[in-house]
Chain A
């Protein structure tokens, strides 16, 4: 155990001492900073533009406009007249247009909200159903508040027999405010629309902002694989050098393989901790998902480390290793379905996904068959470690 530990410590020291590896560590930092920025830009760019022509300009209509503006999914433009709003929809500068007619505020307070607002939409723009739903919710909000307040005042009068106008107004206001504070706009359904060339767009729950999951997970899996390759390159130089001959006079091949695997796994765990912390901070993982994500990513790290270490023992030059790194990383990332949805690629190419660890890691995190998949990944990692021990132990 002491010798295995000495091998592990020495390997970490050597990997850290390498300038190339130190520079490579900038990559995950840049990646996380990049997706943070990208996520911010995506949120802004993915806001759905709508236009509101407020002909009522009452206190209630302005409250409705103000509430709609607070919705993080919508980019709201308010214009003075219907014609201008219609033009913006027709020229597709707005996904939908809403006309608040004169007297809307009064009608809402009178709980007469049916067909009160006119909507213009264009069939070529996605997610209008979701937009209508969100706007309608805000329009119904004062109406529902008003209905609640009226009902409460009626009950109070019935219960007390007599109530002054001031008391009625006071109660009405309190009930309105209470009802309004309970209002939380959520789409009733998740609406998914296919968009040409860019996969699936999900209209998010406005109360649960998240970073771009489309980059975070595949990026994490790809970077971990890249580091598995970068941290295994030494094996190619060392297995052909006399250092291993010297080492094998004092240690057994299994101690050598175990020590080096432990070192690479420890470094992968540090890298992983960075990704997990970022994911936790950016609310990508919630408390329930976190243990499963950590377990999956640790097993993924073990599998790729063992697999790449095994692969390195079959390669004879660093040039070939560079080519293999690029090929395996690109193919497995592209065809795993993590960067590009599987249904975007041909059926034949989709079969490749089943041979990529990224697919299984991603699937076990999102799917329901996590245990067999994780057990399979762990078993495959152990098999690779055992095969590497045999290969490393070949008498030179």
Chain B
């Protein structure tokens, strides 16, 4: 589904991504992990065609995303870290607006999803009056309006309680079950453990590890490999060794 080959991104003289290469299979949930400043958000934005890489290839479903972003955008749903919907509008108005922009006229599928995700009781409420968890759900739902094959989520559960996080994780698992490929960035090791099939670990713009969780233990030095959550929670520390 996604193949990155020697992707680099520079801002002026500063290298934010350095020679990143990996491949993600369709239907996989990949956790993107790393300390702050590792380049996770930049990597996700490059894959989401929101910024072009300085060099390298990004192939999504056989198309070169960097050369022709328009060709792959219909395949991508992007969920930013912030709540990127209009707070002054209702859930319904937001969905209708973003659906219009996505060229989606039939809203039945998304309304069904609202029902499943328990947003229907809040359908006519202004976003600013929703709980943090429900705002996060809407933030993800808007990215699903055009039924994308690839869902890119940049820390989509920041600032919400554990129950809401678990709820969102279960919805995302359902999406993967439906065949969607998911790239998921988070600092929450438990959440990543619950959700992901494979991991992409970054530090200072470099790819330290990419592979399934079974291989991660062999890669992480002692004592950080004693538990899986420690392996993910202390990336910054073991990567410096």
Contact = CB atoms under 8 A, between A and B. Distances in A.
Interface of A: 2-3, 6-7, 10, 13-14, 17-18, 241-243, 245-251, 395-396
B101 interface: yes
Nearest to A246: B84
A14 B87 CA distance: 10
Nearest to B86: A14
Contacts of A395: 50-52
A245 B100 contact: no
Contact of A249 (B48, B52, B85): B48
B88 interface: yes
A392 to B, nearest CB: 14
Given A241-B82, A395-B50, A395-B51, A247 B101 contact: yes
Nearest to B102: A250
6 contacts: A3-B100, A14-B86, A245-B78, A246-B84, A246-B142, A249-B73
A246 B81 CA distance: 11
Band of interface residues on B: 20 to 34
A247 B146 CA distance: 13
A245 B78 CA distance: 9
Nearest to B145: A250
A241 B103 CA distance: 23
B135 interface: no
Contacts of B93: 13
Given A245-B78, A396-B51, 11 more contacts: A13-B89, A13-B93, A14-B88, A242-B84, A246-B78, A246-B80, A246-B142, A249-B49, A250-B98, A251-B101, A395-B51
Given A2-B100, A250-B73, A245 B50 contact: yes
Given A18-B88, A242-B84, A245-B84, A396 B50 contact: yes
A3 B99 CA distance: 10
Query: Nearest 7 A-B pairs (CB), nearest first?
Result: A242-B80, A242-B84, A6-B100, A250-B101, A17-B88, A246-B84, A243-B84
B97 interface: yes
Nearest to A6: B100
